[in-house]
């Protein structure tokens, strides 16, 4: 009577089996990490047995932020588990800092962490509690305007409106950018004053000029404004004020 004999597994078969078991273990650890807090009891012990510990943290940022500033804001990361580290928490904490616009966190297994930060772009200045602050394109405060920083930007002052006043600061700041474009940077805006909605004023530095606009009609008035600025109606009289509140009409005031 013949009897079947089970062959011993080959070396390659044992290797594949061990690899499979390791992958299953890793998958279970990864799944478990999604439910455990790194600072909790189980999360801490999972971190100790994790094979993926952070050995290098690479930080990429832009002026005016520096790598040393970002490092000072971060908790100790080297030696932490790359698996259990919460990228979401890192992003949230960094976005609360001044000048931080966007944060990208990338885990590069087995032991590298990349943090890339894009800085905010100031579009105006505003006085808040007797101090000047940088404002971004959405009207959000970036940071206090230090003297050394002011020298690096040519920005107008704008008064931030009260809540429920009807003003959309980002729309006004977009108008300023359009003005810079069609005036070919020939004119510098020193101040933007938001009056009773929808009326506002733009003050130019050189020449000294006041422009009255309405948020409801300014888009249709840009061609008229461009013509008046680049080709003034009279060369012997300096334009002092341009009123563009009314649709398809400009009222120009001049002085000798």
| Domain range 53-119, CATH class | alpha beta
pLDDT, tens digit (0-9, with 9 covering 90-100), for 37-80: 444 444 555 555 557 899 999 999 999 999 999 999 999 999 89
Token pair 């005036």 is found at: 183
In this structure, whether the domain defined by 124-255 belongs to CATH 3.55.50 is answered with no
Query: What is the percentage of the chain residues whose pLDDT exceeds 90?
Result: 40
In whole angstroms, what is the distance from residue 227 CA to residue 250 CA?
11
Collect contacts of 142-147 with beta carbons under 8 A, ≥24 apart.
142/98, 142/99, 143/98, 143/99
Q: 243 near 210, Cβ under 8 Å?
A: no
Q: 192 near 160, Cβ under 8 Å?
A: no
Instruction: Report domain extents, the chain.
Output: 53-119, 124-255
Q: Using 50, 70 and 90 to split pLDDT, how confident is the model at 100?
A: very high
Q: Using 50, 70 and 90 to split pLDDT, how confident is the model at 90?
A: very high
Instruction: Name the phi and psi angles at 205, rounded to 5.
Output: -80, -55
Q: Which of 9-13, 148-152, 199-203 has the lowest mean pLDDT?
A: 9-13
* Residue 215: per-residue pLDDT: 86
Measured N-to-C along each axis, helices 41-49 and 11-33 cross at an angle, to the nearest 10 degrees, of 150
Mean pLDDT of 23-46: 54
């Amino acid at each position: 009577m013949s009897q079947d004999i089970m062959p011993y597994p080959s070396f390659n078969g044992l290797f594949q089996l061990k690899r499979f078991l390791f992958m299953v273990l890793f998958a279970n650890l990864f799944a478990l990490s999604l439910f455990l807090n790194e600072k909790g009891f189980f999360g801490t012990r999972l971190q100790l047995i994790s094979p993926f510990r952070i050995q290098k943290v690479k930080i990429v940022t832009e002026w005016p932020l520096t790598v040393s500033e970002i490092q000072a804001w971060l908790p100790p990361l080297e030696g932490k588990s790359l698996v259990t580290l919460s990228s979401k928490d890192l992003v949230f904490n960094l976005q609360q800092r001044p000048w931080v616009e966007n944060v990208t966190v990338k885990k590069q297994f087995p032991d590298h962490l990349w943090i890339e930060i894009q800085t905010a772009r100031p579009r105006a200045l505003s006085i808040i509690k007797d101090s000047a602050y940088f404002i971004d394109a959405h009207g959000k405060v970036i940071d206090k305007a230090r003297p050394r920083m002011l020298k690096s930007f040519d920005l107008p002052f704008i008064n931030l409106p009260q809540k429920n006043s009807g003003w959309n600061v980002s729309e006004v700041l977009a108008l300023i950018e359009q003005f810079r474009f069609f005036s070919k940077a020939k004119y510098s805006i020193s101040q933007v004053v938001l009056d009773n909605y929808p009326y506002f004023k733009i003050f130019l530095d050189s020449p000294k000029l006041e422009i009255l606009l309405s948020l409801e009609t300014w888009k249709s008035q840009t061609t008229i404004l461009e013509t008046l600025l680049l080709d003034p109606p009279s060369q012997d009289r300096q334009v002092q004020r341009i009123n563009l509140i009314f649709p398809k009409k400009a009222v120009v005031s001049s002085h000798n």
